[in-house]
Chain A
Amino acid sequence: MSLLRDLALGARFALSGGREGWTRTLLTAVGVGLGVALLLGTTALPGALNARTARDNARNDYGASVDGGPAADTLLIGRADSQYRGADVRGRLVQAEGAKSPLPPGVSALPAPGTMAASPALRDLLASPDGKLLRERIPYRISSTIADQGLMGPHELAYYAGSDTLKQRKDTADDAAEVMRVNAFVDKQQEKLDPILALLIVIIFVVLLMPVGVFIAAAVRFGGDRRDRRLAALRLAGADRRMTRWIAAGEALAGAAVGVVVGALFFVIGRQYVGDISVAGLNVFPSDIDPNPLLAAAVAIAVPASAVAVTLFAMRSVVVEPLGVVRASVPRRRRMWWRILPPLAGLGLLVPMMGRGRDRGMFNQSQVIGGTVLLLIGVTALLPWLVEAAVRRLGGGPVGWQLAVRRLQLTSGSAARMVNGIAVAVAGAIALQMLLGAVEGDYVKASGEDTSRAQLVVPLAGSDPARQSGELRTLKATEGVTQAVVLGSLNGGEKAKDPEHYTPVTVATCADLREVATLPSCKDGDTFTATGGDYPYDNIAKPGSTLCLDPALGGSKTRAAAVAWTLPAGTRDAPSRPDPMGQRRTGLLLTPGALPQHAKLPTRSTVYVSTAPDDALAKERVLNVAGRADPLTSARSLNDTQTSGRFAGVRKGLYIGAAAVLMLIGASLLVSMLEQLRERKKLLSALVAFGTRRTTLSWSVLWQTAVPVALGLTLAAAVGLGLGSVLLRMVGRSVTVDWVPAVSMVGIGAGVVLLVTALSLPPLWRLMRPEGLRTE
Chain B
Amino acid sequence: MTPAGSLLVAQDLHKAYGPTPALDGAEFSIHPGEVVAVMGPSGSGKSTLLHCLAGIVTPDSGKILYDGRELSAMSDAERSALRRTEFGFVFQFGQLVPELTCVENVALPLRLTGVKRKEAERRSLEWMERLEVADLGNKRPGEVSGGQGQRVAVARSLVTQPRVVFADEPTGALDSLNGERVMQLLTEAARSTNAAVVLVTHEARVAAYSDREIVVRDGKSRDMMLEHSV
Contacts and interface: CB of A to CB of B under 8 A. Distances in A.
A771 to B, nearest CB: 8
Contacts of B138: none
Contact of B112 (A693, A771, A774): A693
A402 B89 CA distance: 21
A112 B117 CA distance: 89
Interface string A716-755: 0000000000000000000000000000000000000000
A403 interface: yes
B88 A691 contact: no
A166 B57 CA distance: 90
A690 B111 contact: no
Interface stretch (B1-9, B94-102, B127-135, B215-223): B94-102
Contacts of A109: none
A643 interface: no
B98 to A, nearest CB: 8
Interface in B66-89: 77, 80-85, 87-89
Contact of B99 (A407, A692, A771): A407
A595 interface: no
Nearest to B81: A691
B42 interface: yes
B56 A688 contact: yes
Contacts of A692: 80, 84, 112
A764 to B, nearest CB: 15
Contacts of A682: 93, 95
B99 A403 contact: yes
Contacts of B88: 690
Nearest to A696: B112
Given A407-B99, A691-B84, A770-B56, A402 B104 contact: yes
A755 B157 CA distance: 36
A776 interface: yes
A396 B121 CA distance: 12
9 contacts: A403-B99, A406-B100, A407-B99, A410-B98, A683-B98, A689-B54, A690-B89, A691-B85, A776-B47
B101 to A, nearest CB: 8
A673 to B, nearest CB: 15
B104 A686 contact: no
A686 B153 CA distance: 11
A8 interface: no
A396, A407, A773 interface centre (most CB from chain B within 10 Å): A773
Contacts of B54: 689
Given A406-B99, A689-B54, A691-B109, A774 B17 contact: yes
Contacts of A688: 56, 80
B89 A689 contact: yes
A42 interface: no
Contacts of A409: 99
Interface size class of A (residues with CB under 8 A): 20 to 34
B51 interface: yes
A692 B114 CA distance: 11
Nearest to A397: B117
Contacts of A773: 47, 51, 56
A693 B56 contact: no
A341 interface: no
Main secondary structure of the interface of A (DSSP, over half): helix
A720 to B, nearest CB: 32
B56 A396 contact: no
A690 B84 contact: yes
A455 to B, nearest CB: 62
Nearest to B47: A776
Nearest to A398: B111
B108 interface: yes
B28 to A, nearest CB: 18
B51 A770 contact: yes
Interface in B155-175: 156-157, 166, 169
Interface in A328-355: none
A406 B98 CA distance: 9
A201 interface: no
Given A406-B104, A409-B99, A770-B57, A690 B83 contact: yes
Contacts of B83: 689-691
A693 B112 CA distance: 8
Contact of B100 (A398, A403, A690): A403
Contacts of A696: 112
A687 interface: yes
Place the interface of chain B in its size category: 35 or more
A751 B80 CA distance: 32
Those 6 A-B pairs whose CB atoms lie nearest each other, nearest first: A691-B84, A686-B95, A691-B83, A406-B99, A770-B56, A407-B99
A234 B117 CA distance: 45
A399 B104 CA distance: 10
Contacts of A771: 17, 57
Contacts of A396: 117
A771 B17 CA distance: 9
Chain A CB within 10 Å — which of B82, B112, B166, B169 has the most?
B112
A693 B57 contact: no
Contacts of B82: 691
A686 B98 CA distance: 13
B99 A690 contact: no
Nearest to A686: B95
B87 A690 contact: yes
A399 B84 CA distance: 14
A696 B77 CA distance: 13
Given A773-B56, A776-B42, A403 B97 contact: yes
Contacts of A690: 83-84, 87-89, 108-109, 112, 156-157
Nearest to A688: B56
A409 B109 CA distance: 22
Nearest to A396: B117
B99 A410 contact: yes
Nearest to A410: B99
A222 B228 CA distance: 61
A770 B76 CA distance: 12
B41 to A, nearest CB: 11
Contacts of B99: 403, 406-407, 409-410
Contacts of A398: 111
Contact of B97 (A683, A693, A776): A683
A39 to B, nearest CB: 38
A683 B112 CA distance: 16
Contacts of B17: 771, 774
Contacts of B157: 690
B97 A689 contact: no
B80 A693 contact: yes
Contacts of A686: 89, 91, 95
A410 B143 CA distance: 13
A390 B177 CA distance: 43
A686 B109 CA distance: 12
Interface string A159-199: 00000000000000000000000000000000000000000
A689 B56 CA distance: 6
Given A396-B117, A683-B95, A774-B47, A402 B80 contact: no
Contacts of A399: 108, 111-112
Given A688-B56, A690-B89, A770-B51, 18 more contacts: A398-B111, A399-B108, A399-B111, A402-B104, A683-B98, A689-B89, A689-B91, A690-B108, A690-B109, A690-B112, A691-B82, A691-B84, A691-B85, A691-B109, A696-B112, A771-B17, A773-B47, A773-B56
Contacts of B87: 690-691
Interface in A665-699: 682-683, 686-693, 696
Contacts of A406: 97, 99-100, 104
A312 B100 CA distance: 32
Nearest to A691: B84
A689 B165 CA distance: 12
Q: Please indicate which of the listed interface residues B48, B83, B85 has the most CB atoms of chain A within 10 Å of its own CB.
A: B83
Contacts of B91: 686, 689
Contacts of B48: 774
A691 B17 CA distance: 23
